[in-house]
Homo-oligomer: A and B are copies of this chain.
Amino acid sequence: MVNVAILGFGVVGGGTARLITDNREEIERLTGDTVNIKYILDLRDFPDSPFADRIVHDFNIILEDPEVDTVIEVMGGSHPAYEFTVAALKKGKNVITSNKEVVANFGDEFLAAAAASGVSYRFEAAVGGGIPVISPIISSVRHNKITEVRGILNGTTNYILTKMFSLGESFEDSLCDAQERGYAERNPDADILGTDAARKIDILTALVTGKLVPTDKIHTEGITNIRKADVLAAEKLGMKIKLLGRCIIEGEKVFVIVAPFMLPSDSALFGVSGVYNAVEVIGEPIGSVMFYGPGAGAGPTASAVVADLTEIIASGRNYAVPTFTKDEGAASDISELVCASYIAFDGACEACVKSVFGEVTFVESEDSVAFVTAPMSEKAACEKIARLISERGATLKSRIRLV
């Protein structure tokens, strides 16, 4: 029997407790062992819960109980998740988490502590909710020469963008709708400004490069500036706008970026709608593979947490373990990243656009001029935009990169 303790009895903690209980037979068939939820740590009491007798308020009860084999940290936030994780690993307990913030900030330290204690630290649920992503990348894809990992990593923003496309709604209206449905928080900044997606592409980058970048070193743009006019322009181009996290590996350079991108219809990610997430891995000789599914929610996230648990039980702990170390300088300056851009100006003419950008494809728009450039470096694109503004007095309305 494997005794586990769950830290945090919120949405994910509750879902995990229910999954371990409801799918007891499936877990036993798979692992040859039974799982017992010995403790659930929460500040609150839950007198009406079937798990009421497992609730404790003091982490030390869990830490000091040698019967607790594995700690499931689903509290969220950096503290005290960090302190509890380090203490549990040092005590020789496996730790599983769904908390992308703590992984993106301290994952390297946790992996080192786990290795030192001969236990596992796993975080399948931290990226892509219920979708198996981390484990298959490590065990089934990483022997390829990987050139890019990219994904729709945030369900809230994907829901908002899907609404903007399907109903022609503004960003503000779509955000309100997402908040009403509970897909967006009252304070939606972490989602709409791209922070949540940045943490996830940060973790994926660490998996494929071995280097964990501080999240604040990742070039991050949200979706708050996307206008109805941009959605219409994308539709005219047969494209969709998606908030992507991308890790692009070109020789020694690693470009990590979170930003809205226009995607052509033959992209694997084009059809990923609503609150769904997807992660695409591109490499040689595999080509492109994609993992798709629900990016959040109690049940899916609990499934990913329990996937880690069954892997720990069945594998003797040492299999498909990611390894990475922190590296402040691992992300290259994106000024050398090359891509085409959709750009819209007020107060500019087609002739002056051509004189600065060379050959472009114009798109019908309510702006004075909108167009798609040839692929060029970020640096070149920014310089040309600045030139059009300074020389012609034009106003930049939008710029969205193309995949």
Contacts and interface: CB of A to CB of B under 8 A. Distances in A.
Nearest to A124: B140
A361 interface: no
A166 to B, nearest CB: 11
Interface stretch (A212-220, A228-236, A306-314): A306-314
Interface in A331-352: none
A307 B145 contact: no
Interface in A155-202: none
A15 interface: yes
Interface residues of A, number: 55
Given A303-B144, A307-B141, A310-B139, A292 B294 contact: no
A141 B124 CA distance: 12
A107 interface: no
Contacts of A143: 19, 23, 26-27, 30, 303, 306-307, 310
Contacts of A300: 285-287
A394 interface: no
Number of copies: 2
A308 to B, nearest CB: 9
B310 A314 contact: no
Contacts of A304: 140
A291 interface: yes
Given A268-B292, A314-B319, A145 B23 contact: yes
B314 A145 contact: no
Nearest to A304: B140
A222 interface: no
A214 to B, nearest CB: 23
A294 B302 contact: no
A303 B285 contact: yes
Interface in A41-86: none
A46 to B, nearest CB: 19
Contacts of A132: 136, 139-141, 289
Nearest to A302: B285
B290 A303 contact: no
A19, A139, A268 — which one has the most chain B CB atoms within 10 A of its CB?
A139
A270 interface: yes
Contacts of A314: 139, 319-320
A315 interface: yes
A263 interface: no
Contacts of A318: 316
A124 B316 CA distance: 22
A139 B135 contact: yes
A293 interface: yes
Interface of A: 15, 18-19, 22-23, 26-27, 30, 124, 130-132, 135-136, 138-145, 266, 268, 270-271, 273, 284-294, 297-300, 302-304, 306-307, 310-311, 314-316, 318-320
22 contacts: A19-B285, A22-B284, A22-B285, A23-B143, A23-B144, A23-B145, A23-B284, A26-B143, A30-B142, A135-B139, A139-B311, A140-B304, A266-B273, A268-B292, A270-B271, A286-B293, A287-B300, A289-B292, A289-B294, A314-B319, A316-B316, A316-B319
